[in-house]
Amino acid sequence: MARDPKYDILFEPIQIGPKTLKNRFYQVPHCIGAGSEKPGMQAHHRGMKAEGGWGACCTEYCSIHPESDDTSRVSARIWDDGDVRNLAAMTDRLHQFGALAGIELWYGGPHAPCMESRATPRGPSQIASDFELNIFPRYMDKDDIEVVQQMYVDAAIRAREAGFDIVYVYGAHAYLPFQFLSPFYNRRTDEYGGSFENRARFWRESLYKVREAVGDDCAIASRFAVDHLLGPISIQVGEDGVRFVEYCDDLVDLWDLTVGDIAEWGQNAGPSRFFEENHEKPFTGQVKAGNHTNKPVVGVGRVTNPDTMVAIIKSGQFDIIGAARPSISDPFLPKKIEEGRPEDIRECIGCNQCISRWEIGGPPMVCTQNATAGEEYRRGWHPEKFHPAANREKSVLVIGAGPAGMECAMVLGKRQMSAVHLVEAEKEIGGCVNWISQLGHSDGKENLFRGSARGLGEWKRIVNYRQIQLDKLKNVEVHIGSRLSTEQVLEYGAEIVIVATGCHFATDGMNAATHAPIPGADASLDWQLTPDQVVSEAKRVGQRVVVLENEAYFMGVSVAQKLAGEGHDVTLLTQAAEIANYMDYTLEAPMLHRDLDRLGVHIHTYTMVDKIEPGLVHAYDVWNPAHQEQFEVDTVVLCTARISDDQLYRELKADKDRLESEGIEGLYVIGDASAPRMIVDSIFDGHRLAREIDSPHPEMPLPFIRERRLWGEVSNDDYVQQLRNTADVALA
């Protein structure tokens, strides 16, 4: 089907300096955990988006020198010929699909701790990083400034050699050029500090030198946070923000606009529970609206809706639709619009699991919606193409339509299994997503900063996408409201049975801290609740509530937000150093803490519950159990362990003779029923099994390609020489 003419504007080419962008879909720089050291992952992840129609794809931030080393977080690097070689794999792949390749040249200053290179970062003033712990830069004198600017130039020349079309001088997220521009970092009194022109000088000179070096061949871009969101102590859009764009407009071919910094970059990569689509518009939208630039502008806002994209261009906010997360969630987003099937777009849910892995430092990126993200090369998975299964004549019963079951049934359907029945006990598919997506709200009022507690409603997109796909698959039947007994499963007539029955919260306080139930904990009582009971509102909640948060992710704090928003006096206890630790990684923590503080929620960390009595919770300090504290309560919420609902699986597995006599050849357990986990991992688990359902042992994941040096494959002496040769530039 042809695309709707109302989307034609998204497919109009646009000139960026010497390069032509074929359409308005642009993958802005974002991390994936590949860098220059996993060239296969880098090339194939970006290449997948090029295949899916994105007009340009960029690297993640790409270090220009060992002085800018973000280890253990994974950046790209273009330090030497070896990096040129490895990144050229990416540009080649993008060019095969007609996409432009962009590289984001990065020098982090004090934000780069240099834990691998052991180098000393340089910065405009000697102020410790507000992002890293205890990292001070060396003050840059004028010689240092020239040295670092030459690093940009050398890197740009290498980037051109690697085949890049768009070369960034990256200053957003408060990295070095922005550190010069912002008085929050820059306390200099020479011609690189003080007045606007002085503070802008480093960035402008760097742009000029890079442009002189490669500007005839490559488009020059700059990523710029138009507002630091710190008020008058730093860059504000209405002041130096638009002024800087005007000041350097002659030196760039493309502006890539953002807001905020790296210390709280959730203001840019806004999680859906606090930020709606196109949330940066009040800031980034001012640049073109105020006629401050004559150059094309790209910007982001987790935009997944093609109508919003059209509105963004038509309203003059941006010329080009930038995307990081929406392009991870659906690498084929442009193609789906072009082919007139926008209903097939796998919309980003804004959970920021992708970001969490970068924040953790090291692991490859993951995506809740797109289980193939990051697996393009190492497992050979394509998000839209599915090989017919070798055993597709088999019929499959999937029990439980939660995240794992939905995904598994969908992929099995796409792999053309003869018949797939997805049977769900509840009245609708979705499993835990159906009640989890009702959380995340508090009292509906504006938060203390930008955004508000919008809740996890967009997580329901997990269900919506799969519902639409399942409806389209003729070989998949979905049956709801049907709880199958072990006997019914045995007699169902499926050759392959997959159990995806989820999990439940412990009702006795069993937890990861003490590995034991909590004396007195009993969620069968009317004044003790598990989180799902809070959502179902089956029990009355009293005024004084203690929430025991043992999980370290969103559940306990979301319950606290809801109850505090409804007017209860809520106290959060956690055995950990902070509540909801994982939400630091998903960038949800800062806004969450603002909301909890506004709601008056009391937080006690390093605090574990000893026992629970009617009206009283006895707690202790985990470092000094003798230090006891008591909390008077009316209601206790036990956000403690989750336990697999695997009884069906265990009963089926126990009777091997019966499985055989009933013709059941394969029995598998996936998702929370196998082991409780995050939704992103449940979906992966379901996807993985379906992708490998025709392997010799589907329950055992096939090995994946590990991009690493194989010792002695070439003579170790030759290899050392090869490494030295490619590293010459950096060693010189």
Does 606 bind another protein (CB under 8 A)? Our answer is no
What CA–CA distance (Å, rounded) separates 205 from 226? 19
Say whether residue 128 binds another protein (CB under 8 A): no
User: Which range, of 130-138, 210-218, 275-283, 511-519, touches another protein by CB under 8 A?
Assistant: 275-283
Specify which residues 545 forms β-bridges with: 570, 635
Contact yes or no for 124/107 (Cβ under 8 A): no
- Would you state the structure tokens that stand for residue 168, as one six-digit string? 């960034």
Of 380 and 457, which CB lies nearer to another protein in the complex structure?
457
What is the b/e burial string over 597-618, where b = at least 16 CB atoms within 10 angstroms of the residue's CB?
ebbebebbbbbbbbebeeeebb
> Quick one: 424 or 549, whose CB is closer to another protein?
424
CB 278 to another protein: min, Å = 7
From the CB of 178, what's the least distance to another protein, in Å?
Answer: 30
Please state, in angstroms and rounded to a whole number, the distance separating the CA atoms of residues 624 and 643: 29
Among 324, 376, 331, smallest CA distance to 350 is for: 324
Among 308, 416, 438, 514, binds another protein (CB under 8 A): 308
Of 96 and 418, CB closest to another protein: 418
Lookup result for tokens 């997959």: 498
Answer for which of 150, 198, 395, 475 binds another protein (CB under 8 A) is 395
Tally the C-alpha atoms within 13 A of residue 104's C-alpha that lie toward its C-beta. 26
Does 133 contact another protein by CB under 8 A?
A: no
Residue 393 engages another protein in binding (rule: CB under 8 A)? no
The answer to whether 305 contacts another protein (rule: CB under 8 A) is: yes
CA–CA separation, 190 and 201 (whole Å): 11
First-to-final CA distance of the chain? 57
**477 belongs to the binding site for another protein (CB under 8 A):** yes
For 600, list phi and psi in degrees, rounded to 5. 75, 25
The DSSP secondary-structure symbol of 265 reads G
Span near another protein by CB under 8 A; candidates 40-48, 212-220, 476-484, 551-559: 476-484
Cα angle at 349 between 476 and 367, to 5 degrees?
75
492 binding another protein? (CB under 8 A): yes
- Nearer CB in complex with another protein: 277/508: 277
Q: Which range in 265-273, 491-499, 563-571, 589-597 contacts another protein by CB under 8 A?
A: 491-499
What three-state secondary structure class fits 572? strand
Q: Indicate the residue among 408 and 548 with the shorter CB distance to another protein.
A: 408
Using an 8 Å Cβ cutoff, are 330 and 52 in contact?
yes
- Tell me: does residue 731 bind another protein (CB under 8 A): no
Question: Applying CB under 8 A, which of residues 272, 278, 352, 530 lies at the interface with another protein?
Answer: 278
- For residue 129, say if its preceding peptide bond is cis, omega within 30 degrees of 0: no
CB of 306 to another protein, least distance (A): 9
Count Cβ atoms below 10 Å from residue 499 Cβ, excluding itself: 28
- Nearest distance from residue 344's CB to another protein, in Å? 12
C-alpha dist (Å) from residue 166 to 28, 29, 106, 160, 219: 11, 11, 14, 9, 5
Name the E strands within 640-684. Answer: 642-644, 666-669
The stretch near another protein (CB under 8 A) out of 302-310, 409-417, 559-567, 648-656 is 302-310
Q: Of 204-212, 484-492, 593-601, 605-613, which part binds another protein (CB under 8 A)?
A: 484-492
User: What is the closest distance, in whole angstroms, from the C-beta atom of residue 424 to another protein in the complex?
Assistant: 11
- Of 518, 548, 420, 540, whose CA–CA distance to 475 is shortest? 420
Active site residues: 175
Of 116, 141, 216, 491, the residue at the interface with another protein (CB under 8 A) is: 491
Stretch that binds another protein, among 63-71, 308-316, 533-541, 620-628 (CB under 8 A): 308-316
Q: Does 397 bind another protein (CB under 8 A)?
A: yes
Counting residues that bind another protein (by CB under 8 A) gives 23
Buried b (16+ CB within 10 A) or exposed e, 111-132: bbbbeebeeebbbbbebebebb
Is residue 660 at the binding interface for another protein, with CB under 8 A as the rule? no
Look up residue 362 and give its amino acid.
Answer: G
> Interface with another protein includes 481 (CB under 8 A)?
yes
Q: Which of residues 412-471 bind another protein (CB under 8 A)?
A: 419, 421
Query: Which of 233, 311, 512, 714: binder of another protein (CB under 8 A)?
Result: 311
Cβ of residue 392: shortest distance to another protein, in angstroms?
Answer: 14
Q: Which of 105, 439, 494, 573 binds another protein (CB under 8 A)?
A: 494
From the CB of 492, what's the least distance to another protein, in Å? Answer: 5
Q: Which are the contacts of 639, defined by CB distance < 8 A and separation ≥ 6?
A: 505, 530, 531, 547, 548, 549, 550, 551, 555, 556, 559
Judged by CB under 8 A, the stretch of 362-370, 475-483, 537-545, 641-649 that binds another protein is 475-483
Using CB under 8 A, pick the residue from 13, 98, 238, 493 that binds another protein.
493
* Residues 320 and 298 sit within 8 Å (Cβ to Cβ): yes
Using rule CB under 8 A, residue 482 touches another protein: yes
Do the bridges between strand 616-621 and strand 624-632 make them parallel or antiparallel, or are there none, so unpaired?
Answer: antiparallel
User: What is the smallest separation between the CB atom of 279 and another protein, expressed in angstroms?
Assistant: 10
Which of these, 628, 627, 634, 629, lies nearest to 613 by C-alpha position? Answer: 634
Dihedral (C-alpha) 48, 280, 352, 603: value to the nearest 10 degrees? Answer: 170
Least distance to another protein, CB of residue 624, Å: 51
- Per CB under 8 A, contacts with another protein among 671-710 are none
For binding to another protein (CB under 8 A), which residues are involved?
A: 1, 6, 276-278, 305, 307-308, 310-311, 395, 397, 419, 421, 477, 479, 481-482, 488, 491-494
